[in-house]
Structures are given as structure tokens and as C-alpha cells.
Amino acid sequence: MSAPASGPAAVPPGSDPEPRTGAQAVVADAIDPARRPDVLLRVRRDEGHEISAWWMIGAFVLVSGAVIALLSFVPGGA
């Protein structure tokens, strides 16, 4: 005769101790939104392949300069 399992309910290894609800099953089977084929310009890159922050800083400076240059053509400025 074997010894009784410890705890209130013996759970076999590798099985869930609680049943999964519908929401948990949907989340577990969900597709990463960044990898959907219909999403444009949104890509999750691998670790170490992230875009450099300097590209974002440069884009901000460039767009800011373009806005200031275009606003200089608006009459009635100070």
C-alpha cells in the first residue's frame, strides 16, 4: 500500500490545478498582434534588434524643423 498524497487534492504533475476558463484559453491561444499579417508598420523585433533611440530623436528633430520651416511661410507671424 502506498502513502496518501499530501495536501487536500493530489494533482498529477504537468496538469493544471484549476480548470481554465474561456478567457484564459483564448489568451493562451492568442496570436501576437505585432505578428499579424494585416498590421502595417508594427513589428516586434528579437532581443538585441530594437531600433536605436537616436533614430527617434533624429526623426523628432527633423519633423520639428520641417514644421518650423513651414510655419515661417505663414503671414502675420511675430
Per-residue confidence (pLDDT) for residue 16, from 0 to 100: 59
Q: What are phi and psi of 17, to 5 degrees?
A: -70, -25
User: H/E/C letters for each residue in 47-70?
Assistant: CCCCCCHHHHHHHHHHHHHHHHHH
Q: Where are the chain's structural domains?
A: 22-71
- Tens of pLDDT, residues 13-61: 556 566 666 677 677 667 766 666 666 776 777 777 888 899 999 999 9
**Integer Cα distance of 25 and 8 in angstroms:** 26
DSSP reduced 3-state for 5: coil
By residue count, the chain amounts to 78
**pTM for the structure as a whole:** 0.43
User: What pLDDT is attached to residue 62?
Assistant: 98
